[in-house]
Structures are given as structure tokens and as C-alpha cells.
Amino acid sequence: MGADLGRGKALDPAEGVVAITRDELGPLPDDLLERPDAARHDPSRWFEYPDRPLEVEVGPGKGGYLVEAAQARPESNFLAIEQDPDVYYYTADRVRRHREAGAIMNARVLRADAVAFLRWRVVDGCVHTLHLYYSDPWPKRKHHKNRVLQDGFLADCWRVLRPGGELRLATDHEELWAFYEQQFAKWCEGVPDGFNATPFVREELPKLPSAPEGGLIGSNFERKFTQLGATARGAILRKDEAAR
């Protein structure tokens, strides 16, 4: 059953076709802390063509970027991970409608905490690109610990990315960007103590042709706030080709 967002009809996530089911995800073992890799798999197995490059979007919002990217790159598989139930249902329903119209056949949606999913569910070196756009800035100081781009998340990004793989980021929130810059310095000039990784290579995030003035990726959120005067900033963190 879908969620009703006040639009007069239930949203259909098309479980097993668009939405990832619990059976597909599988259970977590009781001894997970003793065997942290026990439930890790390659999410590519959820797609019709598992050998294609895998792109993962953390927090797709209403799915604007997801739908455009999946149409533009049919040679890739796209997995969007959304925790909020209403947003999840909306995004999955949107993908379903595009799928039924024959527009995209290479995108699926998972309802989960993306940070925990990468940590416990994804094997090493299987992801081609990770996308993190317009993440919640958690502006209050006491909530900064909830920001996605923490050291543990970056360590898991490094681990799940293939050599040469990319983490792509964008935000229009000045304070969050300042936090990102601090994290970039820690992870591009070196690696924090206690993490088995090599430094990322930082690159500029290019503006997509469909992005609005002041934007970078062309999502629904970005279009809304650039119209109000916001300006996006972005970066790519690339895993070294020689990293293993």
C-alpha cells in the first residue's frame, strides 16, 4: 500500500519492481557486531542488468535528479535511498510512473537509513558513483552530529566505491558548506586516525545542462531555492584509481 500525501490517491511504490522489498534486502544476523560484513552484498543484484555501473543517491527528495539521471544514463543502474516514508513513497511512485511509460527501466528505491545501509549492507568496491545533494544542514550546533558527511560515512563511501569512483556533493547552505570544507580538508589532505583508507582527490562538480541559474544538478529542491536567490556549491571526491 502507498502513502496518501493529500493528493487524492494512494501512491504505489511498485514493490519488487521499483521499491526494494524486505525479502530482497534480507535479515541482519544476530552477531552483526562480531561479523560486520556478514550482511553485505552488492546492490547491483537487485537490477535486471547487474553488470552495469551502480550509482547510489542518498536522499533523493522528490526524485527530480534521480529521474533525469536515469534517463540520461540508461547504461547505469540507479539506487535511491530515502528514510522519510512520505518522500520514499512519492519518489518510488514517480519512478514507477516513468517506468510504466517506458522512460526509465534502471532505477529502484529503498526505504532505509542510507548511512547504516552503506555501513552494514554494501560490499567493498561495488559502487561507481555516490550522490549526496542538498542534505539536511542540521543548523543547530547540538544537531551537527546528525549531518551525513561525518568521518564514518566518508570511510564507508571510500570502502564501497570502486577505484576511481566518485562521491558527488552539492548544497546551497553556507554553514553546511563550511562543514563540508572542513571534512574535505581532513579526507583529501590525509585520512583521520583509525580509518583504513587513502585520501580522496577533490575535483569541481560540473554544472549539468538542465540545472537552473545558480544551480548545479537541476533537482526540484534546487530549482525552488535558486528562484529565491540561493547559489549551489559542489564538489567531487574521487577515490584514487590505485586504491584497493
Whether the per-residue pLDDT at 4 is higher than 70: the answer is no
**Tens of pLDDT along 29-63?**
999 999 999 999 999 999 999 999 999 999 999 99
pLDDT at 219: 86
For residue 15, is it within any domain? no
How confident is the model over 199-222, as a mean pLDDT?
A: 91
CB neighbour list of residue 58: distance below 8 Å, 6 or more residues apart:
81, 114, 130, 131, 132, 135, 148
pLDDT at 185: 96
Separation of alpha carbons 169 and 28, rounded Å: 29
pLDDT at 2: 46
Whether the per-residue pLDDT at 68 is higher than 80: the answer is yes
Collapsing DSSP to helix, strand or coil, 159 comes out as helix
**Tens of pLDDT along 140-181?**
999 999 999 999 999 999 999 999 999 999 999 999 999 999
- The radius of gyration of the chain from alpha carbons, rounded to an integer in Å, stands at 18
Whether the per-residue pLDDT at 1 is higher than 80: the answer is no
How confident is the model over 74-85, as a mean pLDDT?
A: 97
For residue 8, is it within any domain? no
In the chain, pLDDT over 90 holds for what percent of residues? 85
**Tens of pLDDT along 87-109?**
999 999 999 999 999 999 999 99
CATH number (domain holding residue 74): 3.40.50.150
Q: Identify whether the C-beta of residue 41 lies closer than 8 Å to the C-beta of residue 26.
A: yes
**Is 226 or 200 the better-scoring residue by pLDDT?**
200
Predicted confidence band of residue 241 (pLDDT cuts 50, 70, 90): confident
Collapsing DSSP to helix, strand or coil, 131 comes out as strand
Q: Give, for 152, the enclosing helix (H) or strand (E).
A: helix 151-160
Separation of alpha carbons 107 and 76, rounded Å: 9
For residue 13, is it within any domain? no
For residue 14, is it within any domain? no
Q: Which residue has the cell 542538498?
A: 134
Mean pLDDT, the chain, integer: 93
pLDDT at 5: 45
- Which of 113, 136, 156, 240 does the annotation list as catalytic? 136
Collapsing DSSP to helix, strand or coil, 26 comes out as coil
Count of CB atoms situated within 10 Å of the CB of 6: 6
Count of CB atoms situated within 10 Å of the CB of 202: 14
CB neighbour list of residue 145: distance below 8 Å, 6 or more residues apart:
none
Domain of residue 205 covers 22-238
**Tens of pLDDT along 81-90?**
999 999 999 9
For residue 16, is it within any domain? no
Q: Which three cell numbers stand for residue 162?
A: 570502486
pLDDT at 10: 82
Residue 12 bears catalytic tag? no
For residue 9, is it within any domain? no
**Is 45 or 2 the better-scoring residue by pLDDT?**
45
For residue 1, is it within any domain? no
Collapsing DSSP to helix, strand or coil, 24 comes out as helix
pLDDT at 9: 66
Whether the per-residue pLDDT at 132 is higher than 50: the answer is yes
- State the helix-helix crossing angle for 85-100 and 64-72, rounded to 10 degrees: 30
Separation of alpha carbons 96 and 16, rounded Å: 11
Whether the per-residue pLDDT at 7 is higher than 80: the answer is no
| DSSP E strand boundaries for the chain | 54-58, 77-82, 107-111, 127-133, 161-171, 201-204, 233-238
**Is 126 or 214 the better-scoring residue by pLDDT?**
126
For residue 2, is it within any domain? no
How many domains does the chain fold into? 1
Q: How many CA atoms lie within 13 A of 45 on its CB side?
A: 12
